Structure 1
């Protein structure tokens, strides 16, 4: 299996369990690794693969229009979007909430999901 990746993508959404977190949208940093079939790398046609520009826009648009309490649910949402809308074979989603805790550079979650 081959993979396409988007690392360091920034996206804004309403996220958090505390009232002060829910007052303003926060910028998250997202890494995506997207598994594709090897045959997709044999074509030079964008229609034969996962278009990472479209993935980026779909994730950002979806997060703009939703809110979440937990990073875990947000990561699940992104994984489902990539697997269902882009027919990926596998996806790894890492979501980082930078600077949310004093003296902690970043907190986050990382999940891996496969198409069934």
Structure 2
């Protein structure tokens, strides 16, 4: 079992998201925290980025997906992000925490947390 985690914390993306008509005319801020389980031992031993998950590439992919997707539900975005990471990066599992900042009165954020495992690894 892999216990190493590569993570991204507080990745913010302004995008169109929401169920209501007024939400489809504005941009709102989504904030992602992503934990990816992968074995980093080889990367650490030889100091080689190609042997681990490049978090800058993951972050760029997540930003692009969130901006292009324009889903109604954050659940949809979280699921698509998890599936993207599992398909495109060598990880055994991923945990995506997704917050919609300022979406509900008197809250800092609302959101979802999902965990998905790679069935191919």
Question: Above 0.5 in TM-score?
Answer: yes
The corresponding residue for 1:71 is 74
The corresponding residue for 1:61 is 64
Runs of at least 5 residues in structure 1 that lack an aligned partner in the other structure: none
3-state SS of paired residue (2:23):
helix
CA distance in 2, matches of 1:5, 1:51: 10
Residue 12 of structure 1: how far off its partner (Å): 2.2
Between Structure 1 and Structure 2, which shows a larger proportion of strand residues?
1
- Residue 98 (structure 1) aligned to one of 98, 101, 109: 101
Residue 37 of structure 1: how far off its partner (Å): 1.8
The corresponding residue for 2:30 is 28
2:6–2:38: 8 Å Cα contact kept in structure 1? yes
Residue 38 of structure 1: how far off its partner (Å): 4.7
TM-score (norm 2): 0.90
Superposed CA RMSD in Å reads 1.2
Residue 87 of structure 1: how far off its partner (Å): 2.2
Aligned residues: 116
CA distance in 2, matches of 1:94, 1:42: 30
The answer as to 2:10 corresponding to 1:8 is yes
- Residue 46 (structure 1) aligned to one of 46, 49, 52: 49
The structure-2 alpha-carbon separation of the partners of 1:18 and 1:10, relative to structure 1 and needing over 3 Å to count, comes to same
2:69–2:77: 8 Å Cα contact kept in structure 1? no
